[in-house]
Structure 1
Amino acid sequence: MSSILTNNGAMVALQTLKTINSDLSKTQSMISTGKEVASAKDNSSVWAISKVMEADVAGFNAISDSLSLGESTLAVASEAAETVTDLLTDIKAKVVAAQEENVDREKIQTDIDALVGQVKSVVGAAQFNGLNLVEGTEDVNILSSLDRASNGSVAASEITINRQDLSTNLGSYGGGAVDLSANGTVSDSTVSAGANTATITVGHDAAANYTVTVGNKSVTVEAGADADATDSAIAGAINGLGIDGVSATVVSTGQLTMASTLAFEDVEISVSASGGSSTMSVDTNTISQRAETITFSQGVKVNDGDSYRVAFNGSDYDYIAGKGETMEDVARGLKIAIDSAGLETVSTKVTQNDAGDWQLNIDNSGADVTDLALSGEDGGTASGGLFGLDSLDVTTDFGAENALGMVETLINNSVDAAAEFGSAQGRIETQSSFISNLTDALTSGIGAMVDADMEEASAKLQALQVQQQLGVQSLSIANQSPQTILSLFG
């Protein structure tokens, strides 16, 4: 049935043409934007995922900038630490030269002062955008990642950079509530200048031979004409061993005193007698070092600002620990504090006992050092890693000797700082490379979800254009159908 009111063919052709035009519009949009999913209406779930990932990519780009800034700051700090190490090595060479007595120590001291000034200049200038990693102890955090959990929550991750204080600051002694004095024990309150002794008892016999061993040296003496002659011969033989700081004297018939003024060295002794009814004994097999010892408990954790003080003869010598330091650092810091005072009769040495505890040994060759004590409190401001550098003085024999040990400790501090910075640089470089690769992977993933397949879109466009032309022709034919009805009325 034909109708002039309803043209079913035209309606079908029109609907088909609308569908073709809609598909053609989408295809043209894909070609012009390059995206298959350009807006939420194209595919709401894929669009939402892509937008979240695009936000993450933008965040990672900002993180990459943060890592670049941190890497540059670390590069400056690392260069400063290495330069300071080189300067301290130059200072050590000057200090070694000053050990000789026939050199102009005043001129050497002038060179050392110039190098110390240069060290301070390097430390002060080692900043990037106002941030100096070789001064102070406060940690620096560098944004390194954004971690998205399965529930959609996001947390920032950071790389913590430990500052390495290479300043010469003394720091400030704490006034906190925690008493730290129990973390160390003092062997004696008086550092005596006298010798430590052992008593040798001799039982005489005319046919006897007497052997005394001091360290790795031994001597054997035959009995003399009488007891006194024998005692004198034994004492003379011991003294003839030529051990610096060790001597023997006859106190009374049958009794000798062995004395040691060695500051930081124990003296091992053994005696024996053979022949007849002779006897020989010693009241101790070890003459202890003359120095008194402060022993620090190795198992105790040292916190930033923990302040330790050694006091004697009315003066205080302080060291304030920084972050990450140990009891070894405390012992060496107190040694530098005492050495820096220039007390010509007082010398120090840091050792470690069999239990692993660090010890500060304090010796005295002058008048007795009295009231030796250790105290400590928390809440201080840390001493600089090059604390004591200002006090290097090689103009005297004592100063030159002390300076050698001090500069060795300072070199170790600067080497440790440079190594710490180098390790942190490596970590940041690795993270920066990972973030770059991760950003590329995320960008590629987003593209896989929303980007258009341009080859497919091009082929589809040509097909739709042909379909559009055919649709127009089909609609034209359908619209001509009512014209045939006129022929019925002709």
Structure 2
Amino acid sequence: MASSILTNASAMTALKSLNMTNKALETTQTRISTGYKVGEASDNAAYWSIATTMRSDNKALSTVKDALGLGMAKVDTAYTGMNAAIDVVDEIKTKLVAASEPGVDQLKIDKELSALKEQLISITSSASFSGENWLANDGAVGTKSIVGSFTRDSAGFVSIGTLDVDVNAITLTSSDDAANGILTKDIDADALQANPTGTADNYFLLNTGSTTAATGTEITLTGTNTGEEISAMVRAVDSILTQLTDAAADLGASKKRIDMQNTFVSNLMDTIDKGVGGLVDADMSAESTRLQALQVQQQLGIQSLSIANGNSQQILSLFRG
């Protein structure tokens, strides 16, 4: 190979190799310092785009999780109130059965009934969370929706799913129409007999001053109630108790569904995090090994460049006598 003082091919090759090593070393050091092998779009546009979208979706799922927590609190509040109401109505039923005994002072029992009714009103009006009361209704009956999911289809379109609770089925009192509340509506005691007469015998438990009041007789003791009247009241209260139990079962099912969805969303967020990590996170063990190798290559490159630059000095020896 010809010797030249104008062109040092060996030095050029060594310099190019050293520059490549320095660039690779810089990349590795960036990955170690940031923890990402794909930290920006220029690293890998496809992976960066996927990761950015999925991180955004995970933020939306985090909001869904918060909404599920709020929904669970509302259902829990209604469920607690419903269970308390069941206990009180069960006690009312017991008092009415006791009132059917001959010679019992009905008026004293009625005082107990009045206290139990006041307790029912207190329970119903107190079962409120975040300004919403699903048991004491002011006429805005219907379905309550709880945000339960955030999904993205294969075409990239997003949608929000909800878990619905039928408040109509669990309303205990209604200030609008007494017929909308389990505790305020008329119950036909005649229809609850083994052999109904066909003549309606309506009773209701609470009078909360609904705009449209019940038309039957309030369940109360006057001191002169006959055994047949008390039996009719017991049948009506037993029907109310059955309806409360069914409503509590509905709330329990909603509570279980929300809890399951909450667990699913949490697991889904973890899975997405793992998936994104697999795309863009740096393998620190591999990067550490690569760093050490590149540092050695850098040192050898510098030495190689030094040797190549020294070759020019050897040409001077050719001109020495």
Shorter-chain-normalised TM-score: which range?
0.7 to 0.9
SS at match of 1:160: strand
Q: 1:425 aligns with which of 239, 255, 266?
A: 255
Higher helix proportion, which one? 2
Higher RCO by CA contacts (8 Å cutoff, separation 6 or greater): 2
More deviation, 15-24/69-78: 69-78
Aligned-pair CA distance for 1:452: 1.4
Aligned-pair CA distance for 1:2: 2.5
What are the within-5 Å matches in structure 2 for residues 81-480 of structure 1? 81-136=82-137, 137-163=141-167, 164-169=169-174, 171-172=176-177, 320=179, 334-335=186-187, 348-350=190-192, 361-362=198-199, 391-395=218-222, 396-398=224-226, 399-480=229-310
CA–CA separation in structure 2 for the residues paired with 1:452 and 1:391? 73
Higher strand proportion, which one? 1
CA–CA separation in structure 1 for the residues paired with 2:234 and 2:74? 33
Cα separation, partners in 2 of 1:363 and 1:481, compared to 1, 3 Å: closer
After TM superposition, what 4+ stretches of structure 1 lie above 4 angstroms from structure 2?
319-322, 332-336, 350-353, 381-384, 387-390
SS at match of 1:393: coil
Give the corresponding residue for 2:312: 482
Q: Deviations over 1:233-265 (max 9, x none)?
A: xxxxxxxxxxxxxxxxxxxxxxxxxxxxxxxxx
CA–CA separation in structure 1 for the residues paired with 2:75 and 2:63? 18
Name stretches of at least 5 consecutive residues in structure 2 with no aligned partner: 202-209
TM-score normalised by the chain length of structure 2: 0.85
User: What RMSD over aligned residues (CA atoms) do the two structures have, in Å?
Assistant: 2.9
CA–CA separation in structure 2 for the residues paired with 1:52 and 1:475? 46
CA–CA separation in structure 2 for the residues paired with 1:426 and 1:333? 29
Are the counterparts in 2 of residues 24 and 461 from structure 1 also a CA contact under 8 Å?
Answer: yes
Name stretches of at least 5 consecutive residues in structure 1 with no aligned partner: 173-318, 323-328, 337-346, 354-358, 365-380
CA–CA separation in structure 2 for the residues paired with 1:360 and 1:383? 27
Aligned-pair CA distance for 1:390: 9.1
CA–CA separation in structure 1 for the residues paired with 2:284 and 2:99? 80
Aligned-pair CA distance for 1:483: 1.6
SS at match of 2:173: coil
CA–CA separation in structure 1 for the residues paired with 2:193 and 2:85? 26
Cα separation, partners in 2 of 1:388 and 1:162, compared to 1, 3 Å: farther
CA–CA separation in structure 2 for the residues paired with 1:158 and 1:477? 72
CA–CA separation in structure 2 for the residues paired with 1:388 and 1:413? 20
Aligned residues: 303
Cα separation, partners in 2 of 1:88 and 1:457, compared to 1, 3 Å: same
Give the corresponding residue for 1:67: 68
TM-score normalised by the chain length of structure 1: 0.57
Are the counterparts in 2 of residues 85 and 414 from structure 1 also a CA contact under 8 Å?
Answer: yes
SS at match of 1:111: helix
Aligned-pair CA distance for 1:426: 0.7
Are the counterparts in 2 of residues 67 and 428 from structure 1 also a CA contact under 8 Å?
Answer: yes
Give the corresponding residue for 2:57: 56
Give the letter aligned to residue 281 of structure 2.
D
Are the counterparts in 2 of residues 168 and 388 from structure 1 also a CA contact under 8 Å?
Answer: no
Q: Deviations over 1:104-130 (max 9, x none)?
A: 111111100100000110111111222
User: Over alpha carbons, which structure has the higher Rg?
Assistant: 1
Give the letter aligned to residue 68 of structure 1.
G
Identity across the alignment (%): 36
